[in-house]
Amino acid sequence: MTDPRTGSRWILGDKFDQKYPHLESISALWNKKWKFPSERSLYPFHDGKHEDFAPIFETLISKSIHDGYTDAYTKEFLPTCEALVKKADSASDDKTKIELYLRACAVYRIARFPYINSDVKRDAYQAQKDAYMKAASLFETPIKDISIPHTSGLHADGADIPLYVRVPKSASKDHPVPAVILMCGLDGHRPDNTTRSDEFLSRGWASIIVDIPGTADCPADRKDPKSADRLWDSILDWMAEQGVYDMKKVLCWGLSAGGHNAVRAAHTHAKRLAGAVGQGAGTHHFFSRAWLEKAKDHEYPWTALPALTEKFGYKTEEEFLDNAQKDFSLVELGVVDMPSTRLLLINGTHDGLMPVEDSMLMMEYGTPKEARLFTGLLHMGYPPANGSVYPWMESILGKVEQ
């Protein structure tokens, strides 16, 4: 496909062939992408503060530690994380405790970037979860860390599904509430979604936050595209058993790599979901060698190929590049030919990680879709994207008086 505005095969235009400047070094990543708030559109530091990160990146630069996949990178963050947690533990009021725990979580998040691929990064993620639950337990409406049985799982799947669950105080079996299943991304996991959970709660909706196959603690078989279907079966069955969720008003929202799961679920679970949001979703072109060989040099903080290779269960990057499209493309697998629930596709037209063409392609199949694409913006369509997502969700779920 050729964009008549640019003459390029991709809407991304000339940027498709460029190596983005932040990939030059750890110094470039910090100084050209992450140092200034206006440039944090893809991986904001959420509740972190500049003062937490600046000394760490100065040390990384001085030691020439460039590769975020290494333990050496992660270890430089841990003293700051531990100091913030210790300070929070001894704080005298809940507001200060929450602020400090969430700051620690923000640093832990960047420490375990870009993929949990070692014991050191797994320990960092566990420490992040521990700190997060200390904060979340102090929220006026707490977030609960629970595990449910994976009742639809097969032998290659794990036995339990860890979830972060937040239910409005008004919810009961007499007054069930709408709910959102939030499908996390390649590197954004359960403890990274406080703001979204707050937004859901303010509208009277419950939130069910889950890691996607191939990431973090998710038990689904990363090699099997149908393992995601089994994951949603187990979660939806469990939700129905609780009685506090209005099962006629359940949405899913997939973020980045999770967008792929949301688009798939919109088709495979059309009768069980009132709607789905695929934000920054890769559906077909994303899985092609032609895209991935260039996308690895775009806006991701480091090359995403090692993380994606492991996420989808391939032994080598070459195996991933050769097979990903036929194994996981929603077009190749015929998923897009199935009836779909209401599906909103959100992205920036200059997404260098998941091509906007993948959102547009969904319009060519099956049930009519809805979309909001942000001209010239990067992955996920940040910062304005959520301003379109929440009203769309409200049009389906409504607002519940607290």
Instruction: Show which residues are catalytic.
Output: 256, 351, 379
- Taking each helix axis from N to C end, the angle separating 227-242 and 257-268, rounded to the nearest 10 degrees, works out to 70
Distance CA 369, CA 367 (A): 6
How far CA 389 is from CA of 45, 202, 258, in Å, comes to 21, 15, 15
Phi-psi domain of 204 (left: phi exceeds 0; alpha: psi -120 through 50; beta: other): left
Distance CA 75, CA 68 (A): 11
> Do strands 206-210 and 160-166 pair parallel, antiparallel, or not at all (unpaired)?
antiparallel
How far CA 137 is from CA of 113, 140, 293, 390, in Å, comes to 25, 8, 43, 25
Distance CA 212, CA 209 (A): 10
How far CA 18 is from CA of 123, 134, 294, 304, in Å, comes to 35, 43, 8, 16
Q: Give me the phi and psi of 373, to 5 degrees please.
A: -110, 135
| DSSP β-bridge partners for residue 166 | 207
